[in-house]
Structure 1
Amino acid sequence: MTPADLSLTVLHAVRRAVDDGALRVDVPPFVKVERARPGGAGEYASNIALTLARSAGRTALDVAGILEERLRGAPGLRGVEITGPGFLNFSLRRDAGGELVSAVLAAGSGYGSGTALAGTTVRFAAPAEPRAALVTETVVRLLRTQGAEAGFGGAGRIHVRPGAYEPEALGVDAARWALLRPAPQDRPLDGPPLLVQHERNPLFRVRYAYARVRRLLVNGEQLGFAPRYETPVDAPALLGALGDHPVVLLAAARHRAPDRVARHLEATADALLAFQHTVLPLGDEKPSAAHRSRLALAEAAGTVLAGGLSVLGISAPDRI
């Protein structure tokens, strides 16, 4: 179960509660689900009960209890717990990793796209300043991934600090990263360090992580096995990063913040690079279901990295 799936599951529980008269509220268009904070229960949490409590005329704990009843036994959920003033905390089934990997590979580069912003129309005035133009172009792409109708021709503007776009000196990929990785209100990154092939260079790490996935797939084929998720993989950081990808894309679109995608790609790359050493058999070890599952997870990570880079207009090379 992905965060997007979980969001829809909770939304359906709200709708059922309204339909059967347990709650008298307007059904929201979207339910926010995020990673559980340290000390919380489960993997994900939502404050939807607190959000609905006032309009429902009930306490948040009452609303949370109503929703918890309708979430019991939902596919992909191992448990739902109410904490604090009315937060819903979700534990996923142990085999949820297989569902996540399957969802990523089935969607391909479109993983993370959705319809949360369907019916929204956004028009931007064409900015004259190069960095503002680049950020706005990327925001338009992000909005479209979430179902919004976005483009140029209106009066809306995105305000960014000026920064030269220098593809002639840096190449397109480094030039775009230098302007999109910082938040729009922050200064652009210094360009020359982005050309250095070193782990201190975050752009290099992200693109290298993708290239490593491509190499792992080739090496797996040479060893006679293909990616197939058959058994649970103990890689919480990587699975968490993949599961968060749809939430990050939606948040980046809502807040007009491509830097959120870039930061998430860095986190995904770091998790993949820490995990990649476990993927292939070592020495005389024979390929097993564990290796096939790890390779499938690595392939899913590469899919997310390539898709995220594409949203930013940056290439994902097979070799680097």
Structure 2
Amino acid sequence: MRHALRGVVGDAVPRRVVVESPPRRGSGDYATGAVLQAARAGGVDSRVLAQRLAESLAGRFGVGRVEVTDPGFLSVTLDGAGRSALIEALTGQDRSVPDAPAQDARHWAQVTGERYEKLLRRTEASPLFRVQYAHARTRALLRNAADLGFTAEAGAGAHPYEGPAERGLLALLADQHRIAEARDHARLARHLTTVADAWHGFHETCPPLPRGDEKPGAAHRARLALTEACGTVLAGGLSQLGVTAPAHL
């Protein structure tokens, strides 16, 4: 986005260009108001500038649609190839380690202010448990898939990742880097909880493993790749909070 904006406004690019999930889930995957800052700095009409940026972004790899709304906000929707590339970028080395319940609960409580005793209980009432359990489930699904003879493959069969649960989860995963950079650990913990809850919803509506007599197909490989990316993001966030990311619970 910064590169595209520089091509339109030159040196009037703001020092900080924020691209984030839109506050209300609509048609776009990401939104930015960076044009408004650049327009003020350059003394130009923000709507005209936003339209020029939209034209610059349209047709680039991974961009499916760009919409402009008053007074100059941009809404960007990725296509299937863009979502697949994002999943590949988010997937990294597994940082799973054995859990340390007392230490984990203490660190989470220090960050969030939640009661230590509540966090020690491994129930859905504990945000810590929900996050660690989601991570453990992602790793278990990867092991189960290997037993069934298939592995994760982002975009397998040109899978578009256009279902609401898929798009919602992927947007949260992509937002992790921006939130982690802010060094606000309480906010990061809340975000990880939201990611974990979104993953559980995704798992219910878009199962990464075949069910019943179903055979593994391209959709399963593609969903498994999103599952793997989610596990990587959860592990990285937990590590930043000083909390373990167990592969088994």
- Which category describes the TM-score, using the shorter chain as reference length? 0.7 to 0.9
Task: State the match for 1:275 in structure 2.
Answer: 202
Q: State the distance in 2 between where 1:51 and 1:109 align.
A: 39
Task: State the match for 2:174 in structure 1.
Answer: 243
Deviation (angstroms), 1:85: 0.9
Q: State the distance in 1 between where 2:3 and 2:130 align.
A: 39
Task: State the match for 1:232 in structure 2.
Answer: 160
Deviation (angstroms), 1:276: 2.6
TM-score using structure 1 length: 0.69
The structure 1 residue matched to 2:227, chosen from 298, 301, 310, is 298
**SS of the residue 1:317 aligns to:** coil
Change in Cα spacing, 1:175 to 1:76, as seen in structure 2 (3 Å) is same
Q: State the distance in 2 between where 1:276 and 1:211 align.
A: 13
State the Cα deviation string for residues 145-198 of structure 1 (Å, max 9, x = none): xxxxxxxxxxxxxxxxxxxxxxx9x721100100112xxxxxx22110101110
Deviation (angstroms), 1:240: 1.8
Kept in 2: contact 1:109–1:304 (CA 8 A) = no
- Which structure has the larger Rg over C-alpha atoms? 1
Task: State the match for 2:60 in structure 1.
Answer: 74
Kept in 2: contact 1:108–1:303 (CA 8 A) = yes
Q: State the distance in 1 between where 2:13 and 2:57 align.
A: 16
Q: State the distance in 2 between where 1:38 and 1:276 align.
A: 22
State the Cα deviation string for residues 15-54 of structure 1 (Å, max 9, x = none): 22245xxxxx533333111212337652211111211222
TM-score using structure 2 length: 0.87
State the Cα deviation string for residues 73-118 of structure 1 (Å, max 9, x = none): 222111222101111121211333211111112x4479xxxxxxxx
With a CA cutoff of 8 Å and minimum separation of 6, indicate the structure with the bigger relative contact order: 2
Task: State the match for 1:317 in structure 2.
Answer: 246
Q: Going by fraction, where is helix more abundant, 1 or 2?
A: 2
**SS of the residue 1:79 aligns to:** strand
Long gaps (5+) in structure 2: none
Task: State the match for 1:131 in structure 2.
Answer: none
Q: State the distance in 2 between where 1:42 and 1:99 align.
A: 17
Give, as a single letter, the amino acid of the residue that structure 2 aligns with 1:271: A
Task: State the match for 2:148 in structure 1.
Answer: 223
Q: State the distance in 2 between where 1:197 and 1:272 align.
A: 18
Q: State the distance in 1 between where 2:79 and 2:203 align.
A: 24
Deviation (angstroms), 1:225: 1.2
Kept in 1: contact 2:31–2:76 (CA 8 A) = yes
Long gaps (5+) in structure 1: 1-9, 20-24, 111-167, 182-187
User: Percent of aligned positions with the same letter in both sequences?
Assistant: 43
Query: Which consecutive segments of 4 or more residues in structure 1 shift more than 3 A?
Result: 107-110
Change in Cα spacing, 1:14 to 1:232, as seen in structure 2 (3 Å) is closer
Task: State the match for 2:42 in structure 1.
Answer: 56
